[in-house]
Amino acid sequence: MKLICLTLLIISGITDSRSEQYEVVEAAGPVLAVAGEDVILPCSVKPSISVVDMRVEWFRLDLRDSQLVHLYEDHRRTELIHQELQRGDASLKLSSVRVSDEGLYKCFIQSRSWSDDATVNVSVEAVGRPPVITVDGFDHSGGLHLQCESGGWYPEPDLEWLNSEGVRLSSETTEKHRNTDGFSVKHTVTVYERDSKIHCRFRLKHHMLETLIITTNLQVESPEGVTEGDAVHLTCKSSCTLTDRATFIWYRNSQPLPERRDRNNQLLLQSVRREDAGRYSYSFLWKFSVFINIIFILYTGPLDSPKETFVAVSPCFDIVEGDSVTMICSSDANPPLKINWFKGGTFVGSGRIYSISKIRSDHSGEYKCKSINEHGEKYSDAVTLNIMYPPKNISLFINSSGEIVEGDSVSLICSSDSDPPGEISCFKGGTFVGSGRIYNISKIRSDHSGEYKCKSRNQHGEKYSDAVTLNVMYPPRNISVSISPSDEIVEGDSVTLICSSDSNPPALNFSWFKENQKSAVGSGQGFSALQSGRFYCEVHNQHGSQRSDAVTVTGQFMQHQPSQTYKFYKNITITQP
């Protein structure tokens, strides 16, 4: 096998006679490169000694004949980082990475007395061109055929269609081709959703490109009734701002009308004939979005009852509380007919157009229209209005049946009304403590006590709940005894032992004991000791009890007149005269 390698010999003015061994350090894992960008292939020695006067070779191992990768005099696409050689770094910079650069590389370093090598595995990702979505027609059931295409990917990308809720749609057909440019992929899907955002996504392990298409119902101006021989104008109307860059496509019975792909939003049918009868629809393409609408059914036959009745809704994007919404009822009845509107089973209005200004969340629901003439009547399929609105009616409550005692498990539950559902965050004071509708605390501690509130947020706004107080009960602890007064005591002073504790609720029951005696010698938070000994206090509340450590009191007593009390002296002895 012929070996072609790169040899770099750097002549330095400093003569190095070191003979110690070193290790060429491999990369921790494969090196990921992006086509068209630069990449560093790591290679260094350990310990970090200079490799300036050593020979450094880089070549490919995974090809049939190992190929030259870098020549010191050749600065086209590879180079060493010369200023790093002194620090033992012989990493190779590969510029303008190509898919063909993927493979296994070897770094070989040789000094006068030693040599070693390491390998680097380079994986290349090529990010393709932005996906392009095109409309490939309709089917008779109202489905819209979409096609998404992109090329220049490596390795082969994962493909997916997603609806506006992020639910993956099943791709019907997929075509894949590979050439020197990488992988080209085309896949199709049929959607039946209106007022929806459809995403076409191409994904690699570390990169992703996505294109959005919007399908929506639009408004149309059309005549109430048509008879044979009439001239008919159909006009496309949209709440979206249309520009002269929009391209309109008109269809009859799901088939494109010849020579009807232009920038004119009107369709003129002159002197309609019986063969013009059918289900008309149109779409317009604008930038990377397509807007679809089934707009009008033209019928030129004999008098008859309604056969087809359907509803179109505008605006074309998500409907937010406060918007104005228009629903249009179309039917094929001849002669023209009366139209009634229903929400659920309740009558809400009449006429071909039903409008709601400043729409509210309680307008959400299923709507349908009923077309009526003297020959019969027909209901449309129901359309659903889903009104988006910011969070409201937000509250936080503590899920507990009674007092919360240290060691219990407690849940704080946040409820909120919003569409789409809001992201919930929980706060203690002003500090974030968790996310999600339920915040659980297991084995609760006293330091969990405090004020809590939750926040609900969606793309239309945010709102905080009122604060709730979490009060954690616990038995006495940190019991201590202090002596008062604590400074120097002179003859005639009184000495009191004081018991302190931390508990919730605060302790009200204090008992004093002298060591080696079963019965209490006193009660209350303060106790005057009239004799020497070791004393401790015991503190109680409804959740438990705890005693302090014992303290030692020594001293003498002076007896006064019978009507007087005894005085006790701490840590001193008073000598009688």
CATH architecture of structural domain 475-568:
Sandwich (2.60)
Q: Which numeric CATH code is attached to 389-470?
A: 2.60.40.10
Tell me which residue of 203, 119, 108, 112 sits closest to 153, measured CA to CA: 203
Angle at the Cα of 215 (from 224 to 371), degrees rounded to 5?
A: 25
Q: Which numeric CATH code is attached to 217-301?
A: 2.60.40.10
- Report residue 279 as tokens: 């289900």
Q: Where are the beta strands (DSSP E) in 374-458?
A: 376-379, 383-385, 387-399, 404-405, 410-419, 423-428, 431-435, 438-441, 450-458
Q: How far, CA to CA in Å, does 94 sit from each of 35, 76, 78, 301, 546? A: 11, 9, 5, 74, 73
- Report residue 276 as tokens: 């013009």
DSSP 8-class letter at 446 = G
pLDDT of residue 494: 66
Taking residue 357's Cβ as centre, other Cβ atoms within 10 Å add up to: 9
Residue 170 CB-density burial (10 A; 0-12 exposed, 13-18 middle, 19+ buried)? exposed
pLDDT of residue 212: 76
pLDDT of residue 509: 92
Q: How many helices (H) and strands (E) does the chain have?
A: 1, 53
Render 451-491 in DSSP notation, one character per residue: EEEEEEEETTEEEEPPPEEE-EEEEEEEEEEEEES-S---T
Measured in whole angstroms, how far is the alpha carbon of residue 64 from the centre of its chain? 47
- Report residue 512 as tokens: 């004093």
Residue 374, SS3? coil
Answer for the pair 248, 264: CB distance below 8 angstroms, yes or no.
yes
pLDDT of residue 246: 57
- Each residue's pLDDT tens digit in the chain (577 positions)? 333 233 333 223 333 434 468 888 887 778 778 777 888 888 888 888 888 777 787 878 877 666 667 653 444 678 887 778 888 888 888 888 888 888 888 888 888 888 889 898 988 888 888 888 877 766 655 677 888 899 989 999 988 888 877 788 887 788 888 887 789 998 888 887 655 678 888 988 888 888 877 665 544 455 555 666 777 767 666 545 454 555 666 767 666 776 544 446 677 777 777 667 666 666 655 443 344 444 444 444 444 556 677 787 877 567 889 888 888 887 766 555 688 999 998 999 988 889 998 899 899 999 998 888 777 788 888 888 888 999 999 999 998 878 899 988 899 999 999 988 999 999 999 899 998 999 998 889 999 999 999 999 998 899 999 999 999 999 999 999 988 776 655 555 567 899 999 999 999 899 999 998 889 999 999 988 777 888 999 999 999 999 999 988 876 443 333 333 333 334 433 222 3
Domain 8-125: which topology? Immunoglobulin-like (2.60.40)
Tell me which residue of 8, 78, 13, 90 sits closest to 51, measured CA to CA: 90
Domain 132-215: which topology? Immunoglobulin-like (2.60.40)
Domain boundaries, the chain: 8-125, 132-215, 217-301, 303-385, 389-470, 475-568
Determine if the pTM surpasses 0.85: no
pLDDT of residue 11: 27
Answer for the pair 105, 119: CB distance below 8 angstroms, yes or no.
yes
Q: What is the pLDDT of residues 285-300, one digit of tens each?
A: 544 334 444 444 444 4
In angstroms, the CA 542 to CA 48 distance is 68
- Report residue 448 as tokens: 């969990």
CATH architecture of structural domain 303-385:
Sandwich (2.60)
Q: What is the pLDDT of residues 409-452, one digit of tens each?
A: 899 999 999 988 999 999 999 899 998 999 998 889 999 999 99
